Structure 1
Amino acid sequence: MFTLDDMVTFAWAFFITLPATFLIHITGHVFFAKLFGARTELIIGKGKKLLKLGKIEIRQFYFTDAACIYDKIRKERRWKHALIYAGGSLFNILSIIIVNGMILADIWPKHLFFYQFVYFSIYYVFFALLPIDYGENHPSDGKAIFSVLKYGKTYKKFD
């Protein structure tokens, strides 16, 4: 049963753990976009812009979402765009393996934070790869991968 005692855990999960999964996910997109020569912008959160550090923009509701914008890549290829779209989930999966490996190796303790992190990461990967549209010109990563591989349709901004 959820009680007031759980509010600290909830706040920790909502304001730190969940945004960490977003940040790792979006870093995967940025990594592959940069690997293929694109210039990128990173937007963390929604709402009013609070801070801009170079190509990173932090918004008021930093804990809700993140997005990557990239421009033209070197030697346009469908598979490169597909890898950029898959990069977020690949980074989340890699982070899950690292966290579980560190716990199994007794380097990190079994802790609720890590459990929440892995849980949120799995959840995020599942919904990122589910091939659906989240709105007009706003596909999931899975839908973007399908669209670029089958039809050659690319997206320059995605979550």
Structure 2
Amino acid sequence: MFGISDFLKLLLSAFIILPMVSIIREGGYLLTSYFLGAKNSKVVIGCGPRIFNIGIFEFRKYYFMYSWCSYDNLRYKENWAQILVYSSPIVANIAVALIVNFSLSFGWIGMKDFGKQFIYYAFYFVLFDLLPIYYPDGQPSNGRIVYELIKYGKFPEYEKE
């Protein structure tokens, strides 16, 4: 039965946990692209009108709905560099989820419900990043990009409408 405490958990998930998982995901892109020599990196959290910037981070009005990382060029043009970049959000979310799970199991953090929801959303992102699909707008998932780079040696074709 869905009660008040469940509604509060839903709000916590939507407005706190989901953005945290998104930031970790985008941090995977950011760190990997940085180490591979990316220029002009930028992380956008949310959609809608821009509210404020903090360095390379841009926060938008609907901060809990969407996020992305962009950069100009990588120093390395080889496929392995692209594979690393597009695998990095998956690795980042798995690593942080495992750390949170490990910390919960040893009692190092006391917020069990928060931790469980965090782990759930982290693996939710991992699942949809791993699927080698095209999203309804035609954009390839990270899994699709990695698959095509490995199988065909090229980035999948994508035209944004």
Structure 2 length as normaliser, TM-score? 0.89
What do residues 35-84 of structure 1 show as CA deviations (whole Å, max 9, x unaligned)? 10002110101111111222211111100111011121112110111110
Q: Distance in 2 between matches of 1:154 and 1:58?
A: 29
Compare 99-108 and 12-21 and name the one that shifted more: 99-108
- 2:66 is aligned to 65
Q: Distance in 2 between matches of 1:76 and 1:32?
A: 14
Aligned amino acid, residue 78 of structure 2: R
Question: Does structure 2 conserve the Cα–Cα contact (< 8 Å) formed by 1:43 and 1:67?
Answer: yes
- 2:23 is aligned to 23
The structural deviation recorded for 1:100 is 1.2
- 1:14 is aligned to 14
- Segments of 5+ residues of structure 2 without an aligned counterpart are none
Aligned amino acid, residue 82 of structure 1: I
Q: Distance in 2 between matches of 1:92 and 1:138?
A: 21
Question: Does structure 2 conserve the Cα–Cα contact (< 8 Å) formed by 1:43 and 1:59?
Answer: yes
Question: Does structure 2 conserve the Cα–Cα contact (< 8 Å) formed by 1:81 and 1:154?
Answer: no
Q: Percent identity?
A: 30
- RMSD, aligned CA: 1.7
Q: Distance in 1 between matches of 2:112 and 2:155?
A: 42
1:134 equivalent to 2:135? Answer yes
- Work out which structure has the larger RCO, using CA pairs closer than 8 Å and 6 or more positions apart in sequence: 1
Question: Does structure 1 conserve the Cα–Cα contact (< 8 Å) formed by 2:37 and 2:76?
Answer: no
- Segments of 5+ residues of structure 1 without an aligned counterpart are none
Q: Distance in 1 between matches of 2:118 and 2:50?
A: 26
Q: What SS does structure 1 have at the residue aligned with 2:20?
A: helix
- 2:120 is aligned to 119
- 2:35 is aligned to 35
Q: What SS does structure 1 have at the residue aligned with 2:102?
A: helix
1:153 maps to which of 144, 152, 155: 155
Count residues in correspondence. 155
Aligned amino acid, residue 31 of structure 1: L
The structural deviation recorded for 1:109 is 2.5
Question: Does structure 2 conserve the Cα–Cα contact (< 8 Å) formed by 1:25 and 1:91?
Answer: yes
Question: Does structure 2 conserve the Cα–Cα contact (< 8 Å) formed by 1:43 and 1:56?
Answer: yes
Compare 117-126 and 100-109 and name the one that shifted more: 100-109
